[in-house]
Amino acid sequence: MPMTTQAQVLELLDSVADPEIPTLSINDLGIIRDVEVHGTGQDIHVVITITPTYSGCPATSVIEADIRDVIGRAGIQNVSVKNRLQPAWTTDWITDRGRQRLLEAGISPPACCASHPLPDDTDVVCPYCQSHNTQVLSRFGSAPCKALWRCSDCLEPFDYFKPH
């Protein structure tokens, strides 16, 4: 029976897509805080600690179910998924690969560091023509994490991932 390591579990988790933005894996999203592997063989127990994103985001419970599913298909049935609220999730934890994947999917990644209490979003890039000449249409969008913007050069509307 091969050993299962933390790195292998992390690799499995990389195939779990965010249900709202499937171009991102949950690793890209930066919600995995900790992976513990206890025991070996039949007695293996995996504990995954995640930090949920938005409080009301319906994706949260889907992500939990998908994690169990992916780990289960790798032959590990004993999986616990724990939530850790503190420190709160922030878009600063989205990985560089995640930001790149957002851009490729037509979603502008957060323009500034979220540690500022209420970011001004002054330098939002258009994912289609890379112009920085953009304007906000609505602070709320198709998902809790997104706002609706428009490019003033190519005139395309686009989703903006809000700094949070």
Partner 1 sequence: MNKILEVDQTRFELLLRLGDNALILGHRLSEWSADAPALEEDIALTNVALDLIGHARLWLAAAGQAEGQGRSEDDLAYLRDVRDWRNLHLVELPNGDFARTMVRQFFFDSYHLLLLEGLACGRDTEIAGIAGKVVKEVRYHLRHSSNWVIRLGDGTEESHARMQQALDDCAPCVPELFEADQIYLDLESLSIVPEIHLLKSEWEHQVSGVLAEATLQMPEILSAHTGGRQGLHSEYLGYILAEMQFLQRAYPGASW
Q: Contact residues for partner 1 (CB under 8 A)? A: 54-58, 85-90, 117-118, 137-142, 144, 148, 162, 164
Positive or negative: CA dihedral 124, 129, 135, 140: negative
Residues 88, 101: Cα–Cα separation, whole Å:
23
The least distance separating partner 1 from the CB of residue 4, rounded to whole angstroms, comes to: 31
The least distance separating partner 1 from the CB of residue 137, rounded to whole angstroms, comes to: 6
If the CB atoms of residues 35 and 145 are measured against partner 1, the closer one turns out to be 145
Residues 164, 161: Cα–Cα separation, whole Å:
9
141 close to 159: Cβ distance less than 8 angstroms? yes
List, as one string, the DSSP characters of 79-143. Answer: EEEEE--SSPP-GGGS-HHHHHHHHHTTEEPP-S-TTSSS-----PPPTTT--S-EEEEES--SS
If the CB atoms of residues 55 and 122 are measured against partner 1, the closer one turns out to be 55
The least distance separating partner 1 from the CB of residue 61, rounded to whole angstroms, comes to: 10
The least distance separating partner 1 from the CB of residue 67, rounded to whole angstroms, comes to: 20
If the CB atoms of residues 5 and 138 are measured against partner 1, the closer one turns out to be 138
Which tokens sit at 105?
């999917």
The least distance separating partner 1 from the CB of residue 105, rounded to whole angstroms, comes to: 20
If the CB atoms of residues 41 and 87 are measured against partner 1, the closer one turns out to be 87
If the CB atoms of residues 37 and 89 are measured against partner 1, the closer one turns out to be 89
